Amino acid sequence: MMTVLGCVVDRHNIWLVALAVLVCTTGSWVTVRLFMKSSATRGVQRLGWHMLTAVASGTAIWCTHFVAMLGFRPGVPVALDPAPTMLSLLLAVAGATPGFVLAGSKRLRWAPALGGAMVGLAICAMHYVGMMAYRVQGIVTWNRTYLVASVALAVVFSSLALHAALRVRNGTCRVAATGLLVMAIACLHFVGMTAFQVEPVLLPGNFSNPEAWQALGLAVGGVALVIVAAGLASYLIDDSLRTESLERLRRMAMTDSLTGLPNRASFSERLDRELYLADQAGGRVALVGMDLDRFKEINDLRGHAAGDEVLRELARRMSALLQEGEFVARQGGDEFIAIHRLGEQSRLLDFLARLESAFFTPIRLEGYEVIPGASLGVAVYPDDAQEKEALIGNTDLAMYRAKSDLVNVACFYEPSMDEVVRARRTLAGELRAALEFGQMDIHYQVQTAVSTGDIRGYEALLRWRHPERGYIPPSEFIPLAEESGLILQLGEWVLRTACAKAASWNPPYKVAVNLSAVQFVHADLVELVRSILDETGLQPDRLELELTESTIFMDKELSLRILRQIKQLGVGIALDDFGTGYSSLDTLRTFPFDKIKLDCTFVSELESSPQARAIVRAVLALGKSLDIPVLAEGIETHGQLALLNAEGCDEGQGYLLGRPIPLRQIVDQGDLVLSAAHEARMRVFPPEVMLAGRRVDGSDAMSAHP
């Protein structure tokens, strides 16, 4: 026999006490983990975790008490009363629940300590109600000092346990909270049992059965461990599900939904890691930007579903070709970007060759094949840039150069590209200032009937004379205006100015104004045209808007709808640069243009090339069959004019007939007279005089090809 705090324990039943210690420690550890889990949740979910915590703790406390009691030997026969025994279990669970709820509240500063005290009181209630079920053959007395001490220790240690679980912010908080909760339960039991004193009164009969008590102790301990294990399992399952959910959300956030490739965010994270590794090891990293060449054409001709399938197939190909140290991501739209950990230059060239093969191998889609093609730009860290953003920017510069290179698919970054970009940015700023300070001007080029020389109208052409650089050709500043978005302001200014000037012309010739593709996408073009006509007073049939077929193909359905609305205003529509680009007969069939403008490249070869003459003859015949007049651009010689006249061309435009010149020079030549209150009548020079005065002599330094 041995004595523990005044309690006699049979050496043969000491394993029951050990089992009680195991249940107490394990249950306390699970209780702390469940309580900390509940504090990290909200709403109904938090209440559910609190209840699960209370069930685990109450069961552990109750089982600890009764397993230890089953191992306790008071020296007299004993028995258990079922009713108080079950009541003690309910008190343990029901009393601990509000304690954990209060401890988890964030409204009170001392809520964990107060809630812990309530849990300690629940432990005390369970213990002493359970002792009421402990029947002995003797007279029971209680030592009040030990009794009060047991309650005080249980309350204090429980309060400290929950406070440590929530307030201590270090790696030992769980261990400390678990140890304190074990102390609360152990102190209550052993100090409380020291207060329990029995004076034997032996009665005849077999009052207790030791073997049954051992079996009961084993059963209670087993059930306790099962319940505690269930609580732990629920914690682990929830934690696992949470981890899986977070990982799934992370994958979704870092993956492109269409292609399954890493997205821009994933690329940025990977590039940071690769640059860090390169700095640590003294290595180099190649960045490859990729932009599809014919993706828009695929979308326009085959539909967006086909375009999506092309992107998916390219993603599969690039994923399959990747080797160690290589990474590819989708930037958005039809742009991709790749990272190559650079070792030997030959490996980089091999990587580029594999990428090129992926882009230029035909893709079969529902009975037809497409070759998307791509332009690749390469920049190397740290050779071409020392910072991440600069590296990405230089890669883009190399890619844009590749798009304009008709020979090379891939281009490497060169420092001179920065100079070009800086120059373009400077010119873009100066272009904005030119519009603001009135440096832009409109020149007009005459359009005449080929057979008679009669003036049919004038095309308004935007010109820019820089105060320092002199004349800057439209081929240089118009693309820059489109890239910067300034084309909207320029286009509106040209349209409003040309209409205002033409409203005062006499005779009332037509004025033709070119439209940019950007105006179709970003502006309410129909309302703009209507408001300018109302504002300037120009008759709608005197305005002709010119656009290329590539403009229509940016969004064919939208463009044709806009053109029909413009035509309903009474404004004419001319198809410019016909013979280049798509030259789709379906476009002529779908929309009844008022004029076809034959591109100047065919007219320039008219006298020397039989093929050019055949094409011109075919276009003129097409125009007559569709009842659409044809205007030939770029007429520079009398031979070209004669051939066009012989083929039945309707109208002509070019240096031979008149160069683009400012409006004041046209007025001075007498081509038209501006309306004025003091003028008694209007006078127009005969057409033959007009033609006679326009020969190509190269003397007009202000003129330029439109």
pLDDT digits (tens, 9 = 90+) for 312-364: 999 999 999 999 999 999 988 889 999 999 887 788 999 999 999 999 999 98
Better pLDDT: 141 or 375 = 375
**What average pLDDT does range 562-580 have in this prediction?**
88
SS3 call for 439: coil
- The predicted pLDDT at position 391 comes to 93
**What average pLDDT does range 416-423 have in this prediction?**
71
Nearest to 597 by CA among 617, 624, 574: 574
Q: Over 70: is that where the pLDDT of 34 sits?
A: yes
Q: How many residues does the chain have?
A: 706
Q: 528-542, 567-581, 669-683: lowest mean pLDDT where? A: 669-683
- Predicted confidence band at 65 (pLDDT cuts at 50, 70, 90)? confident
- Predicted confidence band at 107 (pLDDT cuts at 50, 70, 90)? confident
- Predicted confidence band at 674 (pLDDT cuts at 50, 70, 90)? very low
- The predicted pLDDT at position 694 comes to 36
Q: 33-42, 206-215, 623-632: lowest mean pLDDT where? A: 206-215
- The predicted pLDDT at position 9 comes to 45
- Provide the percentage of residues in the chain whose pLDDT is more than 90: 29
Q: How far is CA 305 from the centre of its chain?
A: 20
In single-letter form, the type of residue at position 506 comes to N
- The predicted pLDDT at position 669 comes to 66
- Provide the percentage of residues in the chain whose pLDDT is more than 70: 78
List C-alpha distances in Å: 578 to 213, 247, 549, 706.
104, 56, 8, 15
Q: 412-416, 564-568, 625-629: lowest mean pLDDT where? A: 412-416
- The predicted pLDDT at position 12 comes to 46
CA distance 651 to 457: 10
Helix (H) or strand (E) holding 578: strand 572-578
Q: Over 90: is that where the pLDDT of 573 sits?
A: yes
CA distance 577 to 502: 24
Q: Over 50: is that where the pLDDT of 679 sits?
A: no
Contact 164, 234 (CB under 8 A): no
CA distance 442 to 506: 19
- The predicted pLDDT at position 697 comes to 33
Better pLDDT: 328 or 420 = 328
**What average pLDDT does range 109-131 have in this prediction?**
83
- The predicted pLDDT at position 570 comes to 95
- The predicted pLDDT at position 699 comes to 31
- The predicted pLDDT at position 403 comes to 81
- Predicted confidence band at 495 (pLDDT cuts at 50, 70, 90)? very high
- Which domains can be identified in the chain, with CATH numbers? 2-200 (no CATH), 264-414 (3.30.70.270), 443-692 (3.20.20.450)
- The predicted pLDDT at position 341 comes to 93
- The predicted pLDDT at position 450 comes to 92
- Predicted confidence band at 167 (pLDDT cuts at 50, 70, 90)? low
- Predicted confidence band at 584 (pLDDT cuts at 50, 70, 90)? low
Q: Over 60: is that where the pLDDT of 8 sits?
A: no
Q: Over 70: is that where the pLDDT of 256 sits?
A: yes
Q: Over 60: is that where the pLDDT of 677 sits?
A: no
pLDDT digits (tens, 9 = 90+) for 442-473: 999 999 999 888 999 999 999 998 888 888 88
- The predicted pLDDT at position 5 comes to 38
Report the chain's mean pLDDT, rounded to a whole number. 79
Nearest to 35 by CA among 101, 91, 98: 101
Helix ranges (H only) for 374-486 are 388-404, 416-436, 474-484
Q: What is the pTM for the complete model shown?
A: 0.50
Contact 512, 458 (CB under 8 A): yes
CA distance 522 to 275: 39
- The predicted pLDDT at position 171 comes to 55
Q: Over 50: is that where the pLDDT of 404 sits?
A: yes
Q: 413-417, 551-555, 643-647: lowest mean pLDDT where? A: 551-555
| DSSP code at position 133 | T
- The predicted pLDDT at position 482 comes to 78
Q: 238-242, 483-487, 646-650: lowest mean pLDDT where? A: 238-242
Q: 120-134, 241-255, 373-387, 662-676: lowest mean pLDDT where? A: 241-255
SS3 call for 333: coil
- The predicted pLDDT at position 637 comes to 93
In 297-409, DSSP assigns E strands to: 326-332, 335-342, 363-365, 368-370, 374-381
- The predicted pLDDT at position 130 comes to 77
